[in-house]
Structure formats: C-alpha cells, structure tokens
Amino acid sequence: MGVTFPGEMRQDEVWAGFFARHYNGSRRGLAKRIFANSGVVSRHGAVNPLVEDASGWSTARRMGRYLTEALPLGKDAVGSALNAAGLRPDEIGLFVVCSCTGYATPGLDILLARDLGMAADTQRLFVGHMGCYAALPGLGAASDYVASRGRPAVLLCLELTSLHVQPPSEDPQQIVAHALFSDAAAALVLVPDATGTQVADIAAVTDTATADHMTWDVTDLGFRMGLSPKVPDVLSAYVGDLVGGLLARHGLTLSDVDGWAVHPGGPRILDVVRDQLELPDAALAESRGTLAAHGNCSSPTVLLILDALRRRARGRPRTTVMLAFGPGLTLYGVLLRG
C-alpha cells in the first residue's frame, strides 16, 4: 500500500478561519453544529481555504490545478506501493485509476504511467464519477485481471475534493459536504499467486429509485455535491442482505469477520452499518479513526481504512469485509481472505 496526502488542516481552524465567514448568514448556527458534529478533527487539502478561496474559481481553473496537484501525489502513492511490493513500474500489466474530482486528457492514467516508467504495453483503466465507492469496482477489475492474465496490477484512488468548494449557500447539503470532504491518494498492488490477502468475492446493489439522493454535478464553478439526509436510511435497507449474502457464499457468518473497512460517509452512516449488522463499536474503530484523522476522502478512504486494519493485524491472516457507498444509490462490498 502507498498513501499520500496534501497539506493537513485542522477542522476547527478551517471553520474559524474560513467557513464561519462563508456561512455568515441565517445558516451560520446550523453550519457550526454540522462542522462540530462531523466526526472530522483534521483533514487535507491541495487547496487550503485559509490560504486560497477557490469558491469563485471557474471549472477550467480548477481542472488546471487538478493536474498540477494530482500528478505528484499519485506518483508518490504508486511509487511507494510498488516499492513495498518489490516491483518495478515496467512489470505492471494493468494500471487502474479512480478519480471523480478532475478531468484531463491525456489523463492521470497516461501521465502517471509515463512519469513512473511503466511499459508501453501496460493496459490502463480509468474509473470516473463513481464517487466514494469507486475503489471497490476498481479493485474487482484489477483482481480479475491478475487472476486471468497472471500479471501484476496497480489500483490508484486519488481525489482532490478541496478544489470544489462552492460559493456561499443556504443549502444544508453543501454545508455537510464542506464539513466532511478531504483529499488523499492511495495505491494498492495486486500480484498473481500471492500468499497474502486475496479478493475472494464482490457484491453490489443499486437502488435507482433513490438516484437523486446523491449527485455530483459539473457546474461553471466546479463540481457540486448533492447529499440527501435520507442516504443512511436507504443504506439501512440493503446493507444487511448484501453482507449476509457475501459471507454466506463462502460459508461464513458475521462472527467470522476479523476486520471491517467501512467507508465513513459520515457518522450516521457508520451508525447505520453498526446497528444493522449488530456490530460492536470496536469493529468500526478504524473507520471512525480515519474519518477523524483524514476526513471523507471519497474513493481513497476505504483503502486508508484497510491500511489501518492491516497495520493493526501485523500480517496475521484475516477475513475482512470492505463496504463503500455512492451515487446510484449504490452499495459495494468486497470480501478479503488471508
């Protein structure tokens, strides 16, 4: 695993130094409570609002900054992951990149493959606009490639949500987004015939009837998040069956799971997963700890939690369930063994 972050920001300082003025209207009291109850203590931003106010930037300006900031972060994360795996860049057969916070052509997959020194015949897959759950279908594609082709693959998830701070608004959904989201890059290497952790199975469910509950719209002033307070209620209707079916296909039950890497879309989502699966609070300690230390980094977040679980396990065999959620509404689950 390779993980890298842009500059750190304290949540209370970001509130006092920027968002307290940003929401200096009828919603200021609500905004202050949302920031205080977000579960975020510190987070990261390629664009720090205490230094630069990007809320009035055009989308073109934000996309130019995206490439400037994303390339070194992605190079560092992938390079660290390759070094940890003992592989050279030119040994990689497939390079999967997930990102929904920036667009460019040639994209990150091409430019990073070039800068890292991957081979000309390296295959590439770019996963865009899946949002917070993108790491899991990306992981599935990389795992399938490794199993069928017998060559290593790299998955990179990189998001720069700080580029998309919006102009002042009375919309509570915008306040929630500004209180939660953060920047990060995380990379994972998959190799054939590995004796360590294996992707055993993947499951997904999408409720298209609630597609309007989570949106990510391209506007003249960056990308605008829509985040309904009904999202946790929708997830509560599906998470039990999805996880139960994922485990049952392998003769497992909830008690067989050693680690839970649950995407912290916010404190309420973690509470819903805990309650629906009847998990002890300790089962989601890494998820809550990641939210507190790094915020909601969109697609890299579940990989950050997995990294925290692996460090706690110190290499011991584990059965791990990864869960992430995003537009659709979509719920993805991955079962890891070993």
Q: Residue-wise pLDDT tens for the chain (338 aa)?
A: 999 999 999 999 999 999 999 998 778 899 999 999 999 999 999 999 999 999 999 999 999 999 999 999 999 999 999 999 999 999 999 999 999 999 999 999 999 999 999 999 999 999 998 999 999 999 999 999 999 999 999 999 999 999 999 999 889 999 999 999 999 999 999 999 767 789 999 999 999 999 999 999 999 999 999 989 999 999 999 999 999 999 999 999 999 999 999 999 999 999 999 999 999 999 999 999 999 999 999 999 999 999 999 888 776 658 999 999 999 999 999 999 98
170 in Cβ contact with 26 (< 8 Å): yes
Domain shared by 239 and 164, yes or no: no
Parallel/antiparallel/unpaired status of strands 94-98 and 123-127: parallel
175 and 215 share one domain: no
- Boundary-marking domain end, from 163, 190, 217: 190
Task: Choose one of 166, 190, 214: the last residue of a domain.
Answer: 190
Helix (H) or strand (E) holding 85: helix 59-85
- Are 321 and 277 a contacting pair, CB within 8 Å? no
Look at residue 317 in the predicted model and tell me its pLDDT: 59
Q: Which two three-digit tokens encode residue 326?
A: 């995003």
Are 175 and 203 in a shared domain? Answer: no
Query: What tokens appear for 273 in the block?
Result: 């997963």
Point out the catalytic residue in the list 98, 100, 132, 297: 132
The three-class DSSP label of residue 271 is: helix
pLDDT at 338: 81
Tell me the whole-structure pTM to 2 decimals: 0.95
Say what the pLDDT of residue 77 is. 98
* CA 156/CA 95 separation, integer angstroms: 8
pLDDT at 256: 95
23 C-beta neighbours (distance < 10 Å), count: 23
- Burial-class residue 220 by CB neighbours within 10 Å (0-12, 13-18, 19+): exposed
Inter-residue contact 295 to 43 (CB < 8 Å)? yes
* Domain with 122 in it: 2-190
Q: Are residues 124 and 230 in the same domain?
A: no
Pair 150, 231 in one domain: no
| CA proximity to 162, closest of 264, 295, 20 | 295
Instruction: Give me the pLDDT at residue 222, please.
Output: 96
> Is 102 in contact with 187 (CB distance < 8 Å)?
no
One domain, residues 155 and 203: no
What's the total number of domains in the chain? 2
Say which CATH number the domain at 219 has.
3.40.47.10
Cα dihedral: 6, 10, 16, 19 (round 10): 40
> So what's the pLDDT on residue 24?
84
pLDDT score of 318: 84
The pLDDT of residue 316 = 64
Is 266 in the same domain as 127?
no
Judge whether 320 and 336 are in contact, CB under 8 Å. yes
Burial zone of 278 (CB within 10 Å; 0-12 exposed, 13-18 middle, 19+ buried): exposed
Residues 95 and 136 occupy one common structural domain: yes
Boundary (domain end) residue, out of 142, 167, 190: 190
Residue with the two structure tokens 């990308």: 223
Residue 246 and residue 264 in one domain: yes
In this structure, the answer to whether residues 202 and 169 fall within a common structural domain is: no
Check whether residue 161 and residue 228 sit in a common domain.
no
Domain match, 26 and 173 both: yes
100 a catalytic residue: no
**Confidence at residue 95, expressed as pLDDT on a 0 to 100 scale:** 98
Alpha-carbon span 164 to 158, nearest angstrom: 14
- Terminus-to-terminus CA distance in the chain, angstroms? 16
CA-closest candidate to residue 38, choices 75, 12, 64: 12
